[in-house]
Amino acid sequence: MPEPVNPVTFPPAFLWGAATSAYQIEGAVREDGRTPSIWDTFSHTPGKTAGGEHGDIAVDHYHRYRDDVKLMADLGLTAYRFSVSWSRVQPTGRGPAVQRGLDFYRRLVDELLEHNIKPAVTLYHWDLPQELEDAGGWPERETALRFAEYAQIMGEALGDRVEQWITLNEPWCSAFLGYASGVHAPGRTEPLASLRAAHHLNLAHGLGTSALRASMPARNTVAVSLNSSVVRPLSQTPADLAAVQKIDDLANGVFHGPMLHGAYPETLFAATSSLTDWSYVLDGDLALINQPLDALGLNYYTPTLVSAAEEKPSGPRADGHGASDFSPWPAADDVLFHQSPGERTEMGWSIDPTGLHDLIMRYTKMAPGLPIYVTENGAAYDDKPESDGRVHDPERIAYLHGHLRAVRRAIAEGADVRGYFLWSLMDNFEWAYGYGKRFGAVYVDYATLARTPKSSALWYGRAARSGTLPPAGLE
């Protein structure tokens, strides 16, 4: 008989979660005092999203949250990461909170706790109040100051019941997709503004961290979720390795440098000197940004493969970040992006769990002793119900199995990974792609908004309840 295969078992306290964001699921964009965010404006601008689709209704989580929480509980999830709509609780991005908006999140948190699901609150997942963008947005320092005020409001409102907090989700996307390539809201294409935005997002993180800690119990934890890129060279030539350094600085060092080490990479300053002298980094900023973290969130989907370009690249960039005539990589026109080998998801992203392992181990070495959560990981597939109404998605099961094995391998090698949040709980508004890309473990019929757990949700639920990975072929 063949030797039995040892099961892939996770630590007993490991959190098994799923993640969402406010604009992608809530809907109710004009209810209870909420005012437009940059994503409301962007998605209602012709030509910005696939089919002109928007999040006005999304999947109506604002009205269906109780059913959605019960669904999570039925699956066996132990944690849920969601974001707060800033303009729902502080409509102009300044001044007093709207209690009706806060009350929605109070009710959601209470419902989660009643079902023994640990809430993890993300303060900012890309939906800046439009009035703050009208005043200049993230390229302006004032926006970081307003974020600190908002963080204090949320800490005071929910800090007694929510222990896990995340300041920003993927600030790289906010800065560079929003202000450089323009494929995300607010849709600006200004390379200098994108670098200014990156700094002020860093500052918002630091000020927000301090504001949270001042407004809630000391037991609570504060983290940030970075979509740090795993940047690999096409070859080992000095030119290709220099390309890796440039993109690593723009993707990773621009955020983890000041957040974790209190300094920007000198190589970043040199690479972007044609655009800026970084004089908007004021004395004392780096100390404000470099607040001690209680944990680090890492979001991972696919690695990045680059080489030096012999001449300025032309045609679409294979960086996986949408189509635009404007690059999200300021002062990096001498870098060429390549499609990584292997099978791909519906996003065109290659599937490579080794990247998640490598990312975790990099930050384990960079910030020893800092707990890590995988705050996003998942895949989009063209899921369709079968005649019996069930939705089978074996590709997603294989994706999750491979990436969770990579997480367990990192734990075995000494990484302190304490939880995994599948992206996403359910199908939703996928930003500029509209409703055409389905990342959910739960299928949503957009005509009726009915929810149906896919086979991957049931598989993931078995993993959550047992702490052990079922076989990838088990649906």
pLDDT (tens digit per residue) in 59-88: 999 999 999 999 999 999 999 999 999 999
Cα–Cα distance for residue pair 171/278, rounded to 1 Å: 18
Predicted confidence at residue 312, as pLDDT, reads 73
Q: How far is CA 459 from the centre of its chain?
A: 23
Cα–Cα distance for residue pair 475/458, rounded to 1 Å: 7
DSSP state of 22: H
pLDDT band at 4 (very low <50, low <70, confident <90, very high): very low
3-class secondary structure, 242: helix
3-class secondary structure, 182: coil
Cα–Cα distance for residue pair 185/431, rounded to 1 Å: 9
- Round the average pLDDT of the chain to a whole number and report it: 97
Residue 3, both tokens: 């030797």
CA angle 464, 469, 470 (to 5 degrees): 105
- Residue 3 in this model has a pLDDT that exceeds 50: no
Cα–Cα distance for residue pair 337/171, rounded to 1 Å: 21
Radius of gyration of the chain (CA): 21
Say what angle helices 141-158 and 99-114 make with each other, to 10 degrees.
50
Predicted confidence at residue 2, as pLDDT, reads 38
Task: Judge whether 133 counts as a catalytic residue.
Answer: no
Enumerate residues 6+ apart whose C-beta is below 8 A from 286: 258, 262, 263, 264
Active-site option among 53, 133, 376, 430:
376
Predicted confidence at residue 475, as pLDDT, reads 66
Residue 1, both tokens: 């008989």
Cα–Cα distance for residue pair 452/51, rounded to 1 Å: 25
Q: Which residues pair with 119 in a beta bridge?
A: 80
Contact 430, 380 (CB under 8 A): yes
- Residue 387 in this model has a pLDDT that exceeds 80: yes
- Residue 474 in this model has a pLDDT that exceeds 70: no
Predicted confidence at residue 473, as pLDDT, reads 74
- Kindly give the residue spans of alpha helices, DSSP state H, lying in 36-140: 38-43, 61-75, 86-89, 99-114, 130-134
Cα–Cα distance for residue pair 35/20, rounded to 1 Å: 20
Q: What percent of the chain shows pLDDT beyond 70?
A: 98
pLDDT per position as a tens digit, 419-460: 999 999 999 999 999 999 999 999 999 999 999 999 999 999
pTM for this prediction:
0.98
Cα–Cα distance for residue pair 97/89, rounded to 1 Å: 5
The sign one gets for the Cα dihedral 109, 159, 89, 206 is negative
Contact 473, 394 (CB under 8 A): yes
pLDDT per position as a tens digit, 82-111: 999 999 999 999 999 999 999 999 999 999
pLDDT, average across residues 160-185: 98
3-class secondary structure, 225: strand
Q: How many CB atoms lie within 10 A of CB 141?
A: 17
Predicted confidence at residue 1, as pLDDT, reads 36
Contact 113, 119 (CB under 8 A): yes
- Residue 6 in this model has a pLDDT that exceeds 80: no
- Residue 228 in this model has a pLDDT that exceeds 50: yes
Cα–Cα distance for residue pair 165/374, rounded to 1 Å: 14
pLDDT, average across residues 357-373: 98
- Residue 227 in this model has a pLDDT that exceeds 80: yes
Q: How many CB atoms lie within 10 A of CB 290?
A: 19
Q: How many CB atoms lie within 10 A of CB 254?
A: 25
Task: Judge whether 376 counts as a catalytic residue.
Answer: yes
First to last CA, the chain: 25
pLDDT per position as a tens digit, 120-168: 999 999 999 999 999 999 999 999 999 999 999 999 999 999 999 999 9
464 closest CA partner among 111, 79, 108, 65: 79
Q: What percent of the chain shows pLDDT beyond 90?
A: 96
What element of type H or E holds 222? strand 221-226
Burial of 362 (0-12, 13-18, 19+ CB in 10 A): middle
Cα–Cα distance for residue pair 311/314, rounded to 1 Å: 9
φ, ψ for residue 307, nearest 5 deg? -145, 170
Active-site option among 26, 53, 140, 170:
170
- Residue 329 in this model has a pLDDT that exceeds 60: yes
Cα–Cα distance for residue pair 443/440, rounded to 1 Å: 6
